Structure 1
Amino acid sequence: MLSLWACSASQAGVFDDDEARKAINDLRVQSEQNNAQHLSRYEQLVAKMTEQSTQQTEQNAQLRRSLLELNNQIEQLRADVAKLRGQTEVTTQTQQATVRDLAETQRRMTDIQTSLDARLRQIEPQKVSMDGRDIVVAPEERKAYEDAMHTLRTDFGAAAQQLQAFQRRFPGSAYAGDVQYWLGNALYGKRDLKEAIVAYRVLVSTAPQHPRSPEALLQAATCQAELKDRKAAKITLDELIRLYPKSESAQTAKERLNSLKTPG
């Protein structure tokens, strides 16, 4: 009985060792499996981290390249801005110079135009009103005529010379009739009555329609009366009344005829 128990106990011990070994083996296998799983996960994690690190490195490299390219663009823009600023300054200076040149050109053109206008005024015919009619004369004619008229107010002899000089210088002038009339008055003023009569007669014969012709005949009759040639004065007054019956000078002539009448 004791031996049977011992045998049983021995067998039980053997079984316990086998189970322990099996348990240990199972634990080893499970541990290895766990280690393998952990290793696999670790390797996966390392691989993932490596991949992420690689991607990050590439991204950093790309970012550096982008930053470098952006910096290059900024530098290029700065260079372009500096160039444009320089061009703008040059353009501004050029424009300012152009404006100055244009202003100077305009000033010169204005001066030239003013000078040209002044010269044209010296030679360009001008319209002048004389005795209710318009005539066209050159500036130099007008000046010569006005100078003679100014002299006539103070010096008959000098005025007569100026008027005769005018006739020689401007023989076809529109002032011709007026110059002839005032020449007669200048001669009358210097008491050259015979020459005054001739001057008045020239006006009537060469320009019978001139507004001063009736006055010229009246003045001629005055000169004849002062020369004591009453007959000639009467003839001249009759001629005045006949040629210009509606003129004021004709009315004056009628009044003078009464004073010139002589018996027979």
Structure 2
Amino acid sequence: MRITSVLIALAFTGVALAQSPAPVISAAHAQDSLENRIERLERLLESRGQSQARMMQQLGALQREVSELRGVTEEHAHQLEQVLERQRDLYQEIERRVSEVRSERAAAAPTLSTEGDTQLSMAYSDDLSENQAYDRAIALVLEDRQYEQAIPEFRAFIDTFPDSEYLGNAHYWLGQLLYARNDYSQARQHFEEVVNNHRDSGKRADCLLKLGIIAQNEGDDGRAESRFEQVLNEYPDSTEATLARSRLEDL
């Protein structure tokens, strides 16, 4: 009898459980959850896009800095070479002056003629004014750094001594001085003088390079390319060739 009662109770309990409603997730709640997920994804994508944009900006800035540093390095290397060249020129001028003084002292010593007369003979006497004029002009550049004052000195030297052995150097230095103050038209004339008429000059490679740079600054890339290639062909192992090659890559 007791067992029968228990079974009846269990039957009623099962019916009650079967009739109770199952938990239901509302459509509104589901929609809200989906929107939240989409919103999180959008924020994530936006954040990632901003990070990528910042990285691209930083990369572009780094590339510009590398390019600028490369240009500065090349320019400093050329300036250093110019300083070293000025020092070499200064040493050569000192050696030349010492040699002249020795020659003058030796020549000033009295010598006996065949008739017993004492004679004096001064070496370089014919070129004394030429040497002094060149020394004065070059000293303004290499020693005193009075560049503006050196310009008329070199011009006067070129006009006064058109056949001087220093003529190629005089044209080079005058071209350098005019180039430094951006007087490209006149500087070109003196550099071309060295290139065309003083082919053995140690300054010729730099004159060719300067002619290419002047053409590049004036927007004449064709002529600039021609001059840079001339440097590479005629002076392939020089510092000027390295600079010319770099300039060609930027054309």
Q: TM-score interval w.r.t. the shorter chain? A: 0.3 to 0.5
TM-score scaled by length of structure 1: 0.45
Structure with bigger gyration radius: 1
TM-score scaled by length of structure 2: 0.47
